[in-house]
Amino acid sequence: MTTAGSPLVGSSGRGRVGRRRARNRERLVSAAAELMAEAGVEGVTVSAITERADLGAGTFYNYFQSRDGIVDAVVAGAVETLGQRLDALTQGMADAAEIYSSSLRHLMRTAVTDPLWGRLVVRLGIAHDQLIATLGPRARRDLLIGVDSGRFQVPDVDIATAITFGALLSAIHAHLGSDQASDPSGVFAESLLRMVGIPAEEATEITQRPLPPLPSLEEARVILGGDAEG
Amino acid sequence: MTTAGSPLVGSSGRGRVGRRRARNRERLVSAAAELMAEAGVEGVTVSAITERADLGAGTFYNYFQSRDGIVDAVVAGAVETLGQRLDALTQGMADAAEIYSSSLRHLMRTAVTDPLWGRLVVRLGIAHDQLIATLGPRARRDLLIGVDSGRFQVPDVDIATAITFGALLSAIHAHLGSDQASDPSGVFAESLLRMVGIPAEEATEITQRPLPPLPSLEEARVILGGDAEG
């Protein structure tokens, strides 16, 4: 699970104790992320987290006040940082269809290349407040760019946002339950481009273009300026 | 929650004991449905169910072997019976776009008119096996009718099925979290009709047609013949 954990640890100068604390916190977050992907939020207990992280049972509360606190940290590490990298990638793009397509393809591809990440977001589910608070506004923003530029025809932006979010999680779930041989990123984005009014042939062409790689979190923060520092 | 419970109780002649058993079972299923809508499957315990149903703690095991058993019964009562009523409604329709649209509008409208039902399916979520096993194949069948008749252009039927399922649950979730003043059934179905290749103006027209009412479960079983008896 490369997307969780490490982004939460800053690289500012720290003593030995500070580095150990950062390492312990990262181990707890990684352990919680694994457990959440396996059993969902409900199945994760503080004792299971410390056991998986191979830390003393009481250590947990040196870093987090509650189970909810570490769940928030996992989601932040796994989804919010990806959101910032997508923000940086699409910031320089002019065409709403390319923005929407690139984001959807990268989100789906992340689930393909990092199934633990995919299982995590599926287990969190469409009703998880922090997940929808992280991805929902970005989907809505990208849809509005298309509507405002006249590129998209969307009967209701809120419904289209909800569809985008639910479609992503459900398509990830279907992919993880399949033989997983193929990468569904392109046809997934193609279906949603058609939904927002891009003609079928053009939707195919856009979603088959070379996909620019995601910037790292550090590159993203440079591109986005200081705004993205959490 | 009118869709759960009563369909599970047959009307065949029973003595007083049989009627009491049927009534108790129905009370347990209704209580479990309420608790699942409030707290999700994970939050439901056998003791919470018997307490809500105002029955003795041991009564539960006269009717169900486990918590999973009653969860299955709740989903069967709440979703499978609705699926059969939709099957009966759409069986006589010739146009794939009308079939898909009518099913989606009725599913969304059921969540609007029966928010307890809506909360139940949202809480079950896109990863719930029995929910996807009930709704998924029906969505796939309806999409294939469109593809086979040349009415729909769908790049990947499995992806389109997953999108339909996830979009439904996510749009219900968004609606339940909104002021709930408007009925999003039409624009929801419109968005998905566009996804499968129906031109925008036609999608609007189809989803604004008068929506034929759902047959009752009893009517549905007559229409479908003996096949639907569970």
Confirm whether B6-68 and B75-225 share one CATH topology.
no
Q: Tokens 């150990």 map to which residue? A: A20
Instruction: Give me the tens of pLDDT residue by residue for chain B, a chain 230 residues long.
Output: 444 444 444 444 578 888 999 999 999 999 999 998 888 777 789 999 999 999 998 899 999 999 888 988 888 888 989 999 999 999 989 999 999 999 999 999 999 999 889 998 998 899 888 899 999 999 999 999 999 999 999 999 999 999 999 999 999 999 999 987 889 999 999 999 999 999 999 999 999 999 999 999 999 999 998 654 44
Substitution target in B132, B163, B183 with the highest count of A β-carbons within 10 Å is B163
Cβ-nearest to B191 among A42, A159, A173: A159
Q: Which two tokens stand for residue B14?
A: 């029973």
For A45, phi and psi rounded to 5 degrees? -115, 160
User: What ipTM goes with this model?
Assistant: 0.84
How far is the alpha carbon of B170 from chain A, nearest alpha carbon, in Å?
5
Residues with Cβ within 8 Å of residue B19, at least 6 apart in sequence: none
Greater confidence (A196 vs A5) lies with A196
- Give the span between the Cα atoms of B47 and A141, in whole angstroms: 45
The predicted pLDDT at position B68 comes to 86
| Cβ–Cβ below 8 Å for B162 and A168 | no
Token pair belonging to B79? 């979703």
pLDDT digits (tens, 9 = 90+) for B133-160: 999 999 999 999 999 999 999 999 999 9
Structure tokens at B172: 């219900």
Contacts of A40 in chain B (CB under 8 A): 42
Two tokens, residue B26: 């129905």
pLDDT score for A5:
40
- The DSSP line for A144-166 is HHHHHTTS---S-HHHHHHHHHH
HSE-up of residue B63 (Cα within 13 Å, Cβ side): 28
Nearest to A143 by CA among A125, A120, A167: A167
Is residue B177 within 8 A of residue A164, CB to CB? The reply is no
Amino acid letter for position A208: Q
Q: How far apart are CA A75 and CA B39, in angstroms?
A: 21
Helix extents (H) in chain A = 16-39, 46-53, 67-75, 81-91, 96-113, 115-124, 129-148, 157-177, 185-195, 200-207, 217-224
How far, in Å, CA of B124 to CA of B114, rounded? Answer: 16
Q: State the CATH architecture for B6-68.
A: Orthogonal Bundle (1.10)
Q: At A181, list the tokens.
A: 């041989």
Distance from CA of B157 to the nearest CA of A (A): 10
A125 part of contact set with chain B, CB < 8 Å: yes
Is the CB of residue B8 less than 8 Å away from at least one CB of chain A?
no
Name the CATH superfamily, with its identifier, for domain A74-228: Tetracycline Repressor, domain 2 (1.10.357.10)
- If one counts every other C-beta atom within 10 angstroms of the C-beta of residue B42, the result is 13
User: Do the chains contact at B156 and A125, CB–CB below 8 Å?
Assistant: no
Amino acid at B134: T
The CA distance from B92 to the nearest CA of chain A, in Å, is 27
Q: Which residue has the tokens 């003996």?
A: B226
CB contacts, 8 Å: A173 with chain B: 126-127, 162, 166
Q: Specify the residue for token string 């040196």.
A: A62
Q: Domain spans of chain A?
A: 6-68, 74-228
Q: Give the pLDDT band of residue A10 (cuts 50, 70, 90).
A: very low
CA angle A28, A32, A37 (to 5 degrees): 155
Whose tokens are 């639907």? That residue is: B228
- The answer to whether A32 and A72 are in contact (CB under 8 A) is no
Task: Report, as an integer, the average pLDDT of A70-85.
Answer: 89
Q: Is B190 on the interface with A (CB under 8 A)?
A: yes
B123 and chain A in contact, CB less than 8 A: yes
Using the Cβ of B53 and the Cβ atoms of chain A, whether some distance falls under 8 Å is answered with no
Q: Quick check: helix, strand or coil at residue B156? A: coil
Interface A-B, measured as beta-carbon pairs within 8 A, has a size of: 122
Q: Specify the CATH superfamily of domain B75-225.
A: Tetracycline Repressor, domain 2 (1.10.357.10)
| CB B34, CB B27: distance < 8 Å | no
In whole angstroms, what is the distance from residue A184 CA to residue A167 CA?
A: 13
